Amino acid sequence: MCAMVNKRFISRRNFIRKSSQIAQSVYLASITGLSAAISACGGGGGSNTGNTSQNGQTSTPSDNSSPSSVTLLPVPALDNGTFAENGTREFTLNVQSGESEILKGISTATLGYNGNLLGPTLRMRHGENVSIAVSNSIDETTTVHWHGMHVPALMDGGPHQTIAKNETWVAQFTVLNEAAMVWYHPHTHGKTGSQVYRGLAGLIIVDDDISDNTALPRDYGIDDIPLVIQDRRINPDGSLAYMTVMSDKMGMKGDHIIVNGVENPLFKAPAQWVRFRILNGSNARIYNLGFSDERSFYRIGTDGGYLERPMEVKRQILAPGERIDVVVDFSADLSSALSIKSYSSELPGSMMGGGMSMDALDSEDFEILSIQVDRVAVNEVALPSVLTSVELLSADAPDRVFTLERSAGVFTINGKAFDSKRIDERVSVGATEIWEVINNNGMPHPFHVHAEFFQILSRDGVAVKEVDFGWKDTVLLNPFETVRIIVRFQDFPDPDAPYMFHCHILEHEDNAMMGQFVKV
Ligand code: C2O
Ligand code: CU
Ligand code: CU
């Protein structure tokens, strides 16, 4: 989406290099147990136990030394799809129910795509035509929204593209995104929170020539590790507790922190640069990520793709819906153990929810992922000093204002509760607009815009700082904060098919903090 100025070319050398990469990844899949990923794209075959496989180390001798109480980090199966004769990359997803072991030794009824929980990681390339056939085998209507994909409104999978029980919906689009990790999840009117909470969420990795040729770690499940961080509350009988107490209406939080669907997993890492592509897939919880030994790590990408250059940090705040792509150097850490934590005690109480929506974990530091560096380097990787170039947008149309509020128990935008029959905003294709988003409420609200990436211009009048650089589709607004973002609407005019903008705390979204825009 015009993020990259360096235009790429496909040389014969690149082509050969690509072919050998494919051969290598197929080989790795077959030796690491990721082979389920390959069969998963055949379409929901009934007997799989889930969408995840342990991260490729189940056959190494060091596993025997793990205490049995440790669960290795599951990695969502990689699904490359299959190619139709016309070159379209085709995927199938089946929405189904099952049982999962989120907590060790306890069975929980869950939902998943092609499995019991979460979904396969769909991998696709910039420029390709893609088709994704989604069938629904659960007892309720659902939708599948491609959060972060730049697609026509009718393919967006919002509340209007419903999939009834036993029906199939086929989304078809050209991949216009640059390399990035985006994700998919239900967007069912009034039920998004409940369906995501029960397990419906999956990742999409988009590759392009820049990501193919980078020195960064990119060996999926080995040194390029997706982390879906969520929280759940689980009843003594193993069932998920959803919206059981009054305060849940402010945002559903749980006391069990899970990564890729399990609590407190262990990731066994090679002693080299390792990449974590992290999604906050929680309904409402905000995390303040950092390593247990206070080491630095490097942000390399945001929601929409690479940053221009790596940024060294010790903390990363991540709100629901946001992604961050980071790398960390473990090359001097062979045989050591550390963890990724949330340093939530460092955040002002207001940021963690303020008043009614705060729970105990909002003011404590807690563990998210244990890491044991147990092997020498497996890939020769490095941290480049320059990653890409990002074009800075400038506005050429009047500003729009969006005020987030709560009145009479309903969350609103510009004083209005969501109405699927009302178009709130009409934007012109070709325009670049500044959206001023005002949080007029004591709770934090991550504001999300469908199908477009934006840039953050300022917070409370202070010009954007480095921590807010890069392409975003979701921006966290602190209580009573005003954030100005800039967004360009380039294509896909359709006066009848709306896209959504909303708060990504799913209980706020379901309780009306959402509006619709069309591109004309
Ligand atoms: Cu991730 Cu409209 O949503
Ligand atoms: Cu979205
Ligand atoms: Cu909100």
Tokens for 9? 């070319």
Give the distance (Å) from ligand 3 centre to CA of residue 132.
30
Q: How confident is the model at residue 102 (pLDDT cuts 50, 70, 90)?
A: very high
CA dihedral 246, 160, 147, 438 (to 10 degrees): -60
CA distance 187 to 280: 16
CB 392 within 8 A of CB 469: no
User: Which ligand is in closest contact with the Cα of 183?
Assistant: 1
State residue 350's pLDDT score: 65
Residue minimizing CA distance to atom 3 of ligand 1: 147
CB 501 within 8 A of CB 454: no
Q: What is the mean pLDDT of residues 274-293?
A: 98
Nearest to 343 by CA among 318, 371, 321, 326: 318
Atom of ligand 1 nearest to the CA of 474: 1
Atom of ligand 1 nearest to the CA of 509: 2
CB 498 within 8 A of CB 515: no
> Beta strand pairing status for 121-125 and 78-79?
parallel
CA angle, 210 then 123 then 100, to 5°: 140
Residue minimizing CA distance to atom 1 of ligand 1: 147
Task: Say what the pTM is.
Answer: 0.89
Neighbours of ion ligand 3 (CB under 5 A): 445, 503, 505, 508
Give the distance (Å) from ligand 1 centre to CA of residue 404.
17
CA distance 105 to 118: 19
Contact partners, residue 206, CB within 8 Å, separation at least 6: 124, 125, 126, 175, 177, 178, 179, 180, 181, 182
pLDDT value at 331 more than 70: yes
Give the distance (Å) from ligand 2 centre to CA of residue 12.
37
Atom of ligand 1 nearest to the CA of 450: 2
Give the distance (Å) from ligand 3 centre to CA of residue 381.
39
CA distance 79 to 97: 20
CA distance 226 to 318: 15
pLDDT value at 248 more than 80: yes
Nearest to 28 by CA among 11, 428, 20: 20
Helices (H), 117-266: 192-197, 209-212
State residue 16's pLDDT score: 35
Q: How confident is the model at residue 348 (pLDDT cuts 50, 70, 90)?
A: confident
State residue 349's pLDDT score: 66
CB 296 within 8 A of CB 330: no
E strand or H helix that includes residue 31? helix 12-32
Give the distance (Å) from ligand 1 centre to CA of residue 181.
14
Least confident of 314-328, 342-356, 404-418: 342-356
Nearest to 146 by CA among 114, 117, 115, 180: 180
CA angle, 456 then 457 then 459, to 5°: 90
Among all chains, which residue has been given the structure tokens 């596993």?
A: 63
Question: Which residues does ligand 1 sit against, CB inside 6 Å?
Answer: 145, 147, 185, 187, 321, 448, 450, 500, 502, 504
CA distance 472 to 368: 24
pLDDT value at 58 more than 60: no
Atom of ligand 1 nearest to the CA of 321: 1
User: Which ligand is in closest contact with the Cα of 473?
Assistant: 2
CA distance 117 to 105: 16
In b/e form, how buried is each residue of 273-311, taking b as 16+ CB within 10 angstroms?
bbbbbbbbbbbbbbbbbbbbeeeebbbbbbbbbbbebbb
CB 281 within 8 A of CB 467: no
User: Which ligand is in closest contact with the Cα of 185?
Assistant: 1
State residue 53's pLDDT score: 61
User: Which ligand is in closest contact with the Cα of 304?
Assistant: 2
Atom of ligand 1 nearest to the CA of 183: 1
pLDDT value at 316 more than 90: yes
Nearest to 73 by CA among 234, 258, 231, 219: 258
Give the distance (Å) from ligand 1 centre to CA of residue 454.
15
pLDDT value at 433 more than 70: yes
Give the distance (Å) from ligand 2 centre to CA of residue 150.
10
Nearest to 34 by CA among 1, 4, 65, 75: 75
Give the distance (Å) from ligand 2 centre to CA of residue 147.
4
Gap between the terminal Cα atoms of the chain: 19
CA distance 86 to 33: 31
CB 513 within 8 A of CB 418: yes
> Beta strand pairing status for 482-488 and 454-459?
antiparallel
Atom of ligand 1 nearest to the CA of 147: 1
pLDDT value at 140 more than 60: yes
Q: How confident is the model at residue 28 (pLDDT cuts 50, 70, 90)?
A: very low
State residue 222's pLDDT score: 98
Q: What is the mean pLDDT of residues 301-314?
A: 98
CA distance 216 to 224: 9
Region of 370 (left: φ > 0; alpha: ψ -120 to 50; beta: rest) is: beta
CB 328 within 8 A of CB 273: yes
CB 261 within 8 A of CB 102: yes
pLDDT value at 247 more than 70: yes
* Cβ count near 236 (within 10 Å): 7
pLDDT value at 41 more than 50: no
